[in-house]
Amino acid sequence: MDIETLSNEHLAGQRLMIGFEGTELNDDLKSMIDRLKIGGIILFTYNIKSPGQLTELCTSVQHHAAAGGIPPLFIAIDQEGGRVARLKAPFTQFAGNPSMKSEDDAVQFAQITAAELSQVGVNMNMAPVLDVAPREIKSVMADRAFGHDPAWVTRLGLKIINHLQQNKIMAVAKHFPGIGRTTLDSHLDMPSLDAELSDLQSFDIIPFKASIDHDVCGIMLSHIMYPGIDAQWPASLSKTIAGELLREQMGYNGLTLTDDLDMGAIANHYDIQTVVRQVMAADIDIIMICHKGPNRELAFDQILKHITDSTELKAKCTRSVQRILNAKNQYLKI
């Protein structure tokens, strides 16, 4: 699909990845596709009953979008293995990243996961976790990270990225620029990591830099404050981190995503209007709102208002949607 053919409403909607309730293409989900023209959905355990049901859900969602002239949807899931695995039995169950002992373990996980996701119609995995969890602290990521050594995290992470993407599953590395040295869960409130950029570059950012060199499809921004880089905004709302550091200095031109904006780190501190403005200014492509509620419609309305009122933000939005379409062209054959 050519970006010149997309209306402002389509441009706004492509920026949204939303969650929903239910296990089928219900009226709420139809409305999100028809009215908001969403770019993607994210699935949770409560959306999944069986492989057959999930296949039907994914197929019907894509057919409904196509019938309305909307580009194919990203259908995303968090399937890391271990504690964060939305697909339960009969899908293959993995012990999780900390249990991986070799690159072969990572390859096996990625190949099996890619095959199972492809079979049911899921096309994006919010993995791998590239956070590095030091031994000497009680890291919030201790049970989700590959380990404490950036080189080891990089090796396993790259195997997963390469083998997911070789099998047509978009990989999303998270949580940039790294949350392994934090102890507060951003689902509850906003952590802060008081580290200078040079410190992050010598430790936390190493796996992300490698993932960029290996053409990772997406990178998710964390809901963490890094006052040594940006004293005002968390990474997921920061033009300094998402725009200047990730885009300009590190040269990343793939997809960027916020973490879930319903998490306490954001919801406890900002209204959705402020969030949307910051995301657009920071050149972050995809706004993720994982739960049913008014923020989905409010975010769409705000994006549409900004691109209607501001030539600069319209241009930024067009660049973001072009990156979204590039990924869809590559992986979804639009």
- Give the pLDDT of residue 99: 97
Global confidence as pTM: 0.97
Give domain 13-332's CATH superfamily.
Glycoside hydrolase, family 3, N-terminal domain (3.20.20.300)
Distance CA 233, CA 226 (A): 8
Please identify every residue annotated as catalytic. 187, 259
- Give the pLDDT of residue 294: 94
Q: Are 265 and 234 in contact (CB under 8 A)?
A: yes
Report H helices in 35-102.
Answer: 51-67
Distance CA 172, CA 72 (A): 18
Q: Is the pLDDT of residue 334 over 60?
A: no
Q: Is the pLDDT of residue 105 over 70?
A: yes
Question: Which residue in 118, 138, 142, 114 sits closest to 129, CA to CA?
Answer: 142
Distance CA 253, CA 50 (A): 36
- Tracing tokens 């899921």 back to the chain, one arrives at 122
Distance CA 197, CA 192 (A): 14
Q: Is the pLDDT of residue 5 over 90?
A: no
Q: Compute the average pLDDT of residues 73-95.
A: 97
Q: Is the pLDDT of residue 28 over 70?
A: yes
Q: Are 271 and 299 in contact (CB under 8 A)?
A: no
Question: Which residue in 302, 176, 298, 299 sits closest to 234, CA to CA?
Answer: 176
Residue 227 DSSP class: T
Q: What percent of the chain has pLDDT over 70?
A: 99
Q: Mean pLDDT of all residues in the chain?
A: 96
Burial 257-294 (b: 16+ CB within 10 A, else e): bbbbbbbebbbeebebeebbbbbbbbbbbbbbbbbbee
- Give the pLDDT of residue 193: 95
- Name, in order, each residue with C-beta under 8 angstroms of 97's C-beta and a sequence gap of 6 or more: 80, 81, 82, 128, 129, 144, 145, 146, 156
Residue 19: CB atoms within 10 A of its CB come to 21
- Give the pLDDT of residue 188: 82
Q: Compute the average pLDDT of residues 177-202.
A: 92
Tens of pLDDT, residue by residue over 154-175, are 999 999 999 999 999 999 999 9
- Give the pLDDT of residue 65: 97
Q: Where does the pLDDT of residue 241 fall: very low under 50, low under 70, confident under 90, or very high at 90 and above?
A: very high
- Structure token pair of residue 6: 């997309």
Q: Is the pLDDT of residue 43 over 80?
A: yes
- Tracing tokens 């959306």 back to the chain, one arrives at 47
